[in-house]
Amino acid sequence: MGRTDTMPTPNLPTWCVVPISSREQRIGRVFLLHGAAVRSAHQTYWSNHPKAVCILELHREKLDKFMEGVSLMAKFPHFQGWGDGLYA
């Protein structure tokens, strides 16, 4: 596929600009249009990350048991629901 167009890049030297087709530029347009929302989501995620790690560490044993059960259900889906209510 031949590259014919270039994206406007005012902050880059001309030797860094690689001409690309309009079709290949579509994802870039999405990031430019929604950059503020992506940045906000990214900042929110990383600002909450330490709290999430703390919560996971606090409940590590319960989470390990839960994940072990999920793994077993994935390996043996025909037993899913078997025994429900027997030990409640």
Residue 36 phi/psi, 5-degree rounding, is: -65, -40
Quote the pLDDT of residue 10: 58
Q: Look at residue 58 and tell me if it is in a domain.
A: yes
In a domain, 24, yes or no: yes
What does the pLDDT read at residue 42? 93
Question: Per-residue pLDDT for 63 more than 80?
Answer: yes
pLDDT digits (tens, 9 = 90+) for 31-41: 888 889 989 99
Residue 29 has pLDDT above 50, yes or no: yes
Residue 37 is part of which domain span?
19-76
Residue at token pair 């030990």 = 87
In a domain, 52, yes or no: yes
The model's pTM is 0.42
Q: Which residue has the tokens 């560490």?
A: 57
